[in-house]
Amino acid sequence: MELYEGIMTTRAMRRFTAEPVTRDEIVRCLKAAVQAPSGGNIQPWQFLVVTDAETRAAVGDIYRRSYDRYEPALLAVLPPFRSDEDEASFRRTAAASRHLADHLGDAAAMVLFLMPAISMTLADDQGDLDVGTPYASVYPAVQNFLLAARDLGIGTALTTVYRIYQQELRDLLEIPERYEVVALVPMGRPVGRFGVARRRPAEAITSWDRFGRRDT
């Protein structure tokens, strides 16, 4: 697949068939993940792959209970929709997200991206040097993983709501407490088709040389 087409058609896929995903396919995606950039090339990641059915179900239960708290909290603070199209798009995403919450444990595999709790803050004689959050050194690896899966025709969704019960997830999977679980990615053959997702156009949110100067 052509790279740009793969990028353009990688989006959250939340409905999967029962078809398996092979170990080789997962490893291929993980090899893409480790090629991602990280601050100072520290590569602050570990991966935990879950394929065992019972463990997937237990992870799925934690995810569903997290989503059960997230969904009403989100709906309570939802701003008014700007258009009927926006509302329809939100409702579609909400329905797909609910489906994932109820079926995450059925996904063929899931990969957890773990980050050791490290500080990337350096200091000099003038004080702390903010050179970015350590999370920024893991999400590029997650995105590489999603893209490599797309190349194989495997659907994925980057999720984080399980963090509501992160400690339960650590206990279940014997993850040491010093690791943050920064993403949980279910994967499987998608029920729907890959396509270009709706987005605000890049031109509308890009400034040139000074903030607010749009392309003319």
In the complex, minimum distance from the CB of residue 46 to ligand FMN, in angstroms, rounded to a whole number: 19
DSSP H or E segment with residue 16: none
Choice between 43 and 93, CB closer to ligand FMN: 93
Do 105 and 51 touch, CB atoms closer than 8 A? no
Do 141 and 34 touch, CB atoms closer than 8 A? yes
Choice between 28 and 103, CB closer to ligand FMN: 103
Pick the binder of ligand FMN from 8, 12, 49, 172 (CB under 6 A): 12
**3-class SS letters over 134-177:** HHHHCHHHHHHHHHHHHHCCCEECCECHHHHHHHHHHHHHCCCC
Choice between 58 and 96, CB closer to ligand FMN: 96
Euclidean distance between CA atoms 86 and 76, whole angstroms: 17
Do 64 and 30 touch, CB atoms closer than 8 A? no
Site for ligand FMN in 164-203 (CB under 6 A): 197
Q: How many CA atoms lie within 13 A of 95 on its CB side?
A: 5
* Stretch binding ligand FMN (CB under 6 A), from 20-28, 35-43, 153-161, 187-195: 153-161
* Residue 100 touches ligand FMN, criterion: CB under 6 A: yes
Site for ligand FMN in 30-89 (CB under 6 A): none
| Tokens read off for 178 | 């010093």
Return all residues near 158 (Cβ < 8 A) that are at least 6 apart.
12, 142, 143, 146, 183, 185
Pick the binder of ligand FMN from 160, 167, 206, 207 (CB under 6 A): 160
In the complex, minimum distance from the CB of residue 213 to ligand FMN, in angstroms, rounded to a whole number: 28
Choice between 85 and 128, CB closer to ligand FMN: 85
What pairing do the DSSP bridges indicate for beta strands 109-116 and 179-188?
antiparallel
* Stretch binding ligand FMN (CB under 6 A), from 9-17, 48-56, 185-193, 207-215: 9-17
Pick the binder of ligand FMN from 29, 107, 149, 157 (CB under 6 A): 157
In the complex, minimum distance from the CB of residue 185 to ligand FMN, in angstroms, rounded to a whole number: 10
Give the interface with ligand FMN as residue ranges (CB under 6 A).
11-12, 14, 93, 97, 100, 157-161, 197
